[in-house]
């Protein structure tokens, strides 16, 4: 396990779509372990593989309730709406309000390739949406609502 460098906004890797994980092997396990270590070291609540320069569909999240690893995640249901302040480990010294679903259900695989579903509300839903955006090459700054409504 190791701390990896977090890629910062402006690096083109953050704007690329991540590729599906097909090999559930030791290399993936090391990546997930390193991503968790990096997230905790940076005091984040989530980290996506593109944020450490790896274009694979892998995400780690921990909002304080325990580590969740999502491989090849997809949002399969969402409800409601919430607006709150977000920041990002790849976007230094900037936070802004973003509107996200208040509830999401995510279908994913674990580190061994087993399918599962997980639900999240409030901050968990926000974290899932934020990290899954990274897999599509989208930074939260692209979702910030402009002040002139």
- Cβ(141)–Cβ(59) below 8 Å: no
- The answer on whether 130 is annotated among ligand-binding residues is yes
- The answer on whether 134 is annotated among ligand-binding residues is yes
- The answer on whether 29 is annotated among ligand-binding residues is no
Q: Where in the chain are the domains?
A: 26-142
| Assigned CATH class of 26-142 | alpha beta
| pLDDT attached to residue 147 | 52
Nearest to 46 by CA among 66, 25, 31, 61: 61
- The whole-angstrom separation of Cα 144 and Cα 6 is 22
- The whole-angstrom separation of Cα 57 and Cα 73 is 7
| Per annotation, catalytic residue among 131, 136, 142, 145 | 131
Residue 77 has pLDDT above 50, yes or no: yes
26 assigned to active site: no
- The whole-angstrom separation of Cα 91 and Cα 39 is 14
**The model's pTM:** 0.95
102-122: per-residue pLDDT in tens? Answer: 999 999 999 999 999 999 999
Measured between alpha carbons, how far is residue 47 from residues 9, 79, 135, 149 in Å? 14, 23, 10, 31
């Amino acid at each position: 396990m190791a701390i990896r460098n977090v890629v910062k906004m402006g690096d083109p890797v953050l704007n690329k779509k991540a590729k599906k994980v097909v090999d559930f092997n030791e290399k993936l396990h090391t990546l997930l372990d390193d991503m968790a270590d990096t997230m905790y070291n940076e005091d984040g609540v989530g980290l996506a593989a593109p944020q450490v320069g790896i274009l694979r569909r892998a995400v780690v999240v921990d909002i304080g309730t325990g580590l969740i690893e999502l491989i090849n995640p997809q949002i399969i249901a969402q409800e409601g709406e919430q607006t709150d302040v977000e920041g990002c480990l790849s976007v230094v010294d900037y936070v802004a309000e973003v509107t996200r679903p208040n509830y999401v259900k995510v279908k994913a695989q674990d580190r061994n390739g087993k399918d599962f579903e997980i639900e999240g509300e409030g901050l968990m839903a926000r974290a899932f949406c934020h990290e899954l955006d990274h897999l599509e090459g989208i930074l939260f700054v692209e979702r910030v609502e402009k002040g002139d409504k």
